Structure 1
Amino acid sequence: MFLIIKVVIFLPLYSCFNYLIPLHTVSLIGYRVLIPFKNRIEVGIIINYVKKNELNNKNRCNLKKIFLVIDNFPVYSKKFFLLLYWCEKFYHIEIPILMYFIVPNFLKKGNNILYDYIFFWKMINKKIDFYIKNIDRTKYKLIVTKIIKKKKNY
C-alpha cells in the first residue's frame, strides 16, 4: 500500500509532481528525497500529501516510487511551508519557483548536512542555553558573549 505525495523538484518548473511512498512511513513533509524524473535522478522536497479524490485512476497508475529519503529529519519546518503558501497567494507565484530560488544550492545537490558545524542557541525565560560544536569563528563567539553580557541573570 502506498501514499501519494507532492514533491517539488529543484528545477525552474511551474508544477509539483506526484510520487508514491510506502504507507508505513511517518509524516515526511519537509524531507528531501531522490526521485526518478524523466531519464535521470533528481533531488526534491516533499511539500504535501495528495488526497485520493484529487487524482483519477489513469494518473494513479503512472506514478513512480521515490528512491530514497535523504535526510533523517525535515530540512524545513511546517512554519516555513506556511510562509511559502502565504507568499504563493500574496505574490501570485508558484511554490516550485519559490523553492528553486529559496533553497541553497548545497541542499539542491542532495549533499548531506554536516551536523558538526551547526551553531545553535536558544533563549528561554531569561535562561540562555547555547551549544557550540566544532566552531572557531570569532564572529559567532562575539555574538554569544554579547548575549551573555546582556543577560546576566540566567
Structure 2
Amino acid sequence: MIIVEVALPLPIKNNFFYSFPKSEICPVIGSRVIVPFNNSQLIGIIVSINNNKTYSFKLKKIISIIDQQSIFTPSTWNLILWCTDYYQCHISFIIFNFIPYLLKKGKTLKKKCATNVKLLKKVIL
C-alpha cells in the first residue's frame, strides 16, 4: 500500500494522509486527486508519496486520480516550494492560489492548452 500526503483547500495548516492501493496507475506529486473528507469529497493535490511509512491508525482511501501526471512543471513546483519557505505559508494555501479556478473544480487539463502555453513561451523568449 502506498501512503500519499495530500494538500486540501482548507484553512488548516496540515496535510492529510490517504492510502492508495498498488495498481497500474501510480500517484505523482503535483497531480490532483479526489479524497473523502468529513462527509464530502474534496479535490486535493499530492504533495508527497511515502512507500515505507506505516501508521497505527486506519487511513482513508483515495477515491480517484484526476491527472495521470503533475499539473505543474518542475520549475513551477520549485517556485511553489520556494514561496512556502519564503513567505512561511502552508503549501496548500500557495498551491490553491496558484492554479486556475476550473482546475480547482476538477476540470481536466486539455492537451491543446499545454501546447498553447509552450508556443507562448517560445514567442516570449
Q: TM-score by structure 1 length?
A: 0.66
Structure 1: state its 5+ residue gaps. 129-143, 148-154
| 2:47 matched residue in structure 1 | 47
| 1:90 matched residue in structure 2 | 86
Q: For residue 56 of structure 1, report the CA deviation from its aligned partner.
A: 4.0
For residues 27 and 64 of structure 1, do their structure 2 counterparts lie closer, same or farther at Cα, with a shift above 3 Å needed?
A: closer
- After TM superposition, the structure 1 stretch with the greater mean CA deviation from structure 2, 2-11 or 114-123, is 114-123
- The one-letter code matched in structure 2 to 1:17 is F
CA–CA distance in structure 2, aligned partners of residues 115 and 11 of structure 1: 29
CA–CA distance in structure 2, aligned partners of residues 34 and 4 of structure 1: 15
For residues 34 and 56 of structure 1, do their structure 2 counterparts lie closer, same or farther at Cα, with a shift above 3 Å needed?
A: closer
CA–CA distance in structure 2, aligned partners of residues 23 and 51 of structure 1: 10
Cα deviations by residue, 1:90-144 (Å, 9 ceiling, x for unpaired)? 2111111111221211111001123334413388xxxx7xxxxxxxxxxxxxxx5
CA RMSD of aligned residues (A): 2.6
Q: Say which of 104, 119, 124 aligns to 1:108.
A: 104
| 1:78 matched residue in structure 2 | 74
For residues 56 and 39 of structure 1, do their structure 2 counterparts lie closer, same or farther at Cα, with a shift above 3 Å needed?
A: same
| 1:9 matched residue in structure 2 | 8
Which of the two has higher C-alpha Rg?
1
Structure 2: state its 5+ residue gaps. none
Displacement over 6 Å in runs of 4+? none
State the structure with bigger RCO (CA 8 A, min sep 6), 1 or 2.
2
Q: Size of the alignment, in residue pairs?
A: 122
For residues 113 and 49 of structure 1, do their structure 2 counterparts lie closer, same or farther at Cα, with a shift above 3 Å needed?
A: same
More strand by share: 1
